[in-house]
Amino acid sequence: MSFSLATWNINSVRLRIGLIEDFLNTHKVDVLCLQEIKCQNDQFPTKAFQKMGYEHVAVHGQKGYHGVATVSKHPILESHSKDYCEMGDSRHICTTHNFGDEKIDLHNFYVPAGGDEADPKTNPKFDHKLKFLDEMRQLKSVTSGKNSVLVGDLNIAPLENDVWSHKQLLKVVSHTPIETETLTEILDGGDWRDLIRQHVPADEKLFTWWSYRSRDWKVNDRGRRLDHIWSAPGIAKSLQKIEVIREARDWVKPSDHVPVIARFKL
């Protein structure tokens, strides 16, 4: 059975529903995981997704900012969310799916960005980020006999070639050693596989985010790989392809993140 999923920090689902429709019409994924939807549950454009063939919707939103949602062409058997750090933020939703003979838990995350200063003592936002990551250590790729997939905007670019300049960004939030080392510990400790880097060698530059502050993002190309797709080892073996839809950063009124697609043959 073929199966595909995409992850995308959309930076307001209602503002960019037209871009989402164009993306889904072109790339036809089975499941789309969105972050930073910036709306409450009852404001989510469910009918628009159902019209596009994504009849199964799980939303964990909040007013004005944050929020995650997973939409699927196939039934969502169940869903739940965890309040990481117990701050009331909507940053996680887990949905369960049947794909062929495989029952899969799909975790959709929006990890805190962490602010500008990489010091938890003086920057509460960075402290929040580190505590959030610490709680993520409990996530395992296989739980109760079920394989898992983890996707989302993790707001960390862990490898040297996940940023435009490793040396210049070592003190910049998203690429500091404490963040990159912690994310690697979560990955290894949970027996996860980094599917993007499984498909694209680690010695190749690869970005999924470019700042709005860059006047010409394509020429400067000062990006970071902040968006991730991980899986249990068994699912990783069935990965066929990873697609980073780089051109989406150049669409009209785009998100600063681009969609990433994983395609599997289960």
Minimum mean pLDDT range among 29-38, 140-149, 182-191, 222-231 = 140-149
Residue 132 has pLDDT above 90, yes or no: yes
Supply the pTM of this predicted model: 0.97
Residue 215 has pLDDT above 90, yes or no: no
- Please name the helix (run of DSSP H) or strand (run of DSSP E) that holds residue 24, with its range, or none: helix 17-27
Residue 207 has pLDDT above 80, yes or no: yes
* pLDDT at res. 232: 97
- Spatial contact of 90 and 61, defined as CB atoms under 8 Å apart: yes
Average pLDDT over residues 84-97: 96
Minimum mean pLDDT range among 146-155, 207-216, 243-252 = 207-216
Q: Could you count the other beta carbons within 10 Å of the beta carbon of residue 69?
A: 26
Q: Which domains does the chain have, with CATH numbers?
A: 2-265 (3.60.10.10)
Residue 83 has pLDDT above 80, yes or no: yes
Minimum mean pLDDT range among 6-10, 36-40, 97-101 = 97-101
Cα 60 to Cα 13, 44, 45, 57, 142, distances in angstroms: 13, 10, 13, 10, 23
